[in-house]
Amino acid sequence: MKQRDVNIDYGPHADQQMIDQSLLAEEVDVILRRLQVSEAERDRIQTESVGQFGNAIFETERKLRLTASMFGKVIKRRPYTSCHNMVKECLKPSSFWSEATDYGIAKEKVAIGIFERIKSLHVQDSGFWIDLQYGFLGASPDGIVLSEDSMIEVKCIYSASKLELKKHTLDEVIDIMKSKICLERHDDQIRLKRTHNYYYQIQGQLNIARKSKCYFIVYINDAIDLFVEEIERDAKLWEEKMCPLLVQFYKECICPEIIMDNIGKGRRCNDPPFISEAITLQEEKKRKISKVINPVIVNSADKESIQILRHVVVPFELTSVFQKIAENNTSENIECCGILAGRLENNKLKISHMIVPKQTGTSDSCTASHEEEILLYQEQHDLITIGWIHTHPTQTAFLSSVDLHTHCSYQLLIPEAIAIVCAPKYKQIEYFNLTPTNGMTVISKCKKSGFHPHPSEPPLFKSADHVRIENDATLEVIDLRMLE
Residues that bind Zn ion (CB under 5 A): 400, 403, 446, 448
Closer by beta carbon to Zn ion, 309 or else 399: 399
Closer by beta carbon to Zn ion, 188 or else 457: 457
Closer by beta carbon to Zn ion, 210 or else 454: 454
- The single-letter code of the amino acid at 341 is A
Residue with CB nearest Zn ion? 446
Q: Residue 411: which of 435, 389, 392, 431 has the closest Cα?
A: 435
Closer by beta carbon to Zn ion, 61 or else 403: 403
Closer by beta carbon to Zn ion, 294 or else 444: 444
Which is it for strands 312-315 and 467-470: parallel, antiparallel or unpaired? parallel
Q: What's the per-residue H, E or C state across the chain?
A: CCCCCCCCCCHHHHHCCCCCHHHHHHHHHHHHHHHCCCHHHHHHHHHHCCCCCCCHHHHHHHHCCEEHHHHHHHHHCCCCCCCHHHHHHHHCCCCCCCHHHHHHHHHHHHHHHHHHHHHCCCCECCCCEECCCCCCEEECCCEEEHHHCEEEEEEECHHHHCCCCCCCCHHHHHHHHHHHCCEEEECCEEEECCCCHHHHHHHHHHHHCCCCEEEEEEECCCCCCCEEEEEECCHHHHHHHHHHHHHHHHHHHHHHHHHHCCHHHCCCCCCCHHHHHHHHHHHHHHHHHHHHHCCEEEECCCCCEEEECCCEEEECCHHHHHHHHHHHHHHCCCCCEEEEEEEEECCEEEEEEEEECCEEECCCCEEECCHHHHHHHHHHCCCEEEEEEEECCCCCCCCCHHHHHHHHHHHHHCCCCEEEEEEHHHCEEEEEEECCCHHHHHHHHCCCCCCCCCCCCCCCEEECCCEEEECCCCCEEEEHHHCC
Least distance (Å) between residue 442 CB and Zn ion: 8
Least distance (Å) between residue 439 CB and Zn ion: 11
Closer by beta carbon to Zn ion, 134 or else 432: 432
Long-range pairs of 185-193 with CB within 8 A, sequence gap ≥ 24:
190/227, 190/229, 191/229, 192/216, 192/229, 192/231
Q: Across the beta sheet with 129-130, what order do the strands follow?
A: 66-67, 137-139, 129-130
Closer by beta carbon to Zn ion, 446 or else 469: 446
Closer by beta carbon to Zn ion, 257 or else 403: 403
Least distance (Å) between residue 457 CB and Zn ion: 15
- Residues with Cβ within 8 Å of 148's Cβ and at least 6 positions away in sequence, in order, are 121, 213
Least distance (Å) between residue 370 CB and Zn ion: 21
Q: Is the peptide bond before 458 cis (omega within 30 degrees of 0)?
A: yes
Closer by beta carbon to Zn ion, 157 or else 434: 434
Closer by beta carbon to Zn ion, 218 or else 423: 423
Least distance (Å) between residue 293 CB and Zn ion: 26
Least distance (Å) between residue 337 CB and Zn ion: 9
208 contacts 195 by C-beta, under 8 angstroms: no
Closer by beta carbon to Zn ion, 110 or else 442: 442
Closer by beta carbon to Zn ion, 55 or else 400: 400
